[in-house]
């Protein structure tokens, strides 16, 4: 019995449908084909690059909850947790951000801690969201969250990262600010570790910053990486 050569041809017909009558193959129309399509793409610009966060793990951090990390370790998504990290600060910012207490939706944001955009917006220095509230002994911090932010080159991870100091870590941020002010961005390396602390809501870890000596090549690599990202 001869095999039925018509069976199973439906899928092939579907695959070839785009080259049916009245449709010329791409090579005949002058359009790019295969790898040519990728060779003609523009270069990756800073707007296309995402700088990951360098975070200190706490008890409720997702990686801790999943068992992939321990509180007090430093995290960058895609890398193994580290007990300590050596970084070179290459850029510095002061930010403010106001979020809805219930939904955590962003309401107002300031990229320089001077002028806010959103609701309420305006001059940060005179904004009511920037004021401490409550009676003496029960003071509440401003609803608008202030932070020191650094773009750093992590020699431990061999990549750029965003490092943020806010709330209880502000004092540590000021320690780093002082060290950077003395040596200059890109001219100093620091070791990040963490110490256990006890607060009103329980135990947590606080970041620590200690300047360290590194080879000049590491500082130059940090500057080169940053220059390529801006």
pLDDT tens per residue, range 39-59: 666 666 666 777 899 999 999
**Could you tell me the pTM of the whole model?**
0.76
Mean pLDDT of 126-140: 87
Burial class, 10, CB count within 10 angstroms (exposed 0-12 / middle 13-18 / buried 19+): exposed
Residue 203 in domain: yes
Residue 85 in domain: yes
Residue 107 in domain: no
Give yes or no for a contact between 179 and 133, defined as CB atoms under 8 angstroms apart: no
pLDDT surpasses 70 at 9 = no
Mean pLDDT of 178-189: 97
Residue 112 in domain: no
Residue 18 in domain: no
Two tokens at 30?
């002058």
pLDDT surpasses 80 at 215 = yes
Give residue 125's pLDDT: 93
Residue 195 in domain: yes
Note the helical H segments in 47-118.
Answer: 62-65
Q: How many domains does the chain have?
A: 1
The parent domain of residue 153 ranges over 57-94+147-229
């Amino acid at each position: 019995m001869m095999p039925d050569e018509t069976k199973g041809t439906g899928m092939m017909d579907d695959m070839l449908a785009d080259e049916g009558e009245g449709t010329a193959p791409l090579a005949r129309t002058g359009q790019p084909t295969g790898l040519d399509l990728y060779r003609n793409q523009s270069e990756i610009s800073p707007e296309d690059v995402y700088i990951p966060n360098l975070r200190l793990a706490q008890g409720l951090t997702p990686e801790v909850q999943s068992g992939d990390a321990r509180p007090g370790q430093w995290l960058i998504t895609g890398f193994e947790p580290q007990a300590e990290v050596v970084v070179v600060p290459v850029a510095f910012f002061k930010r403010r951000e106001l979020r809805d207490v219930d939904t955590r939706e962003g309401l107002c944001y300031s990229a320089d801690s001077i002028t806010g955009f959103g609701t309420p917006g305006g001059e940060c220095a005179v904004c009511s969201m920037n004021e401490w509230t409550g009676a003496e002994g029960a003071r509440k911090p401003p609803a608008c969250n202030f932070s020191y932010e650094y773009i750093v080159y992590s020699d431990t991870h061999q990549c750029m990262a965003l490092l943020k100091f806010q709330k209880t870590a502000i004092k540590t941020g000021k320690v780093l600010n002082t060290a950077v002010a003395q040596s200059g961005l890109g001219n100093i390396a620091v070791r990040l570790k963490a110490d256990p602390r006890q607060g009103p809501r329980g135990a947590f870890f606080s970041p620590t910053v200690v300047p360290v000596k590194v080879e000049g090549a590491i500082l130059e690599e940090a500057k080169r990486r940053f220059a390529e990202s801006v």
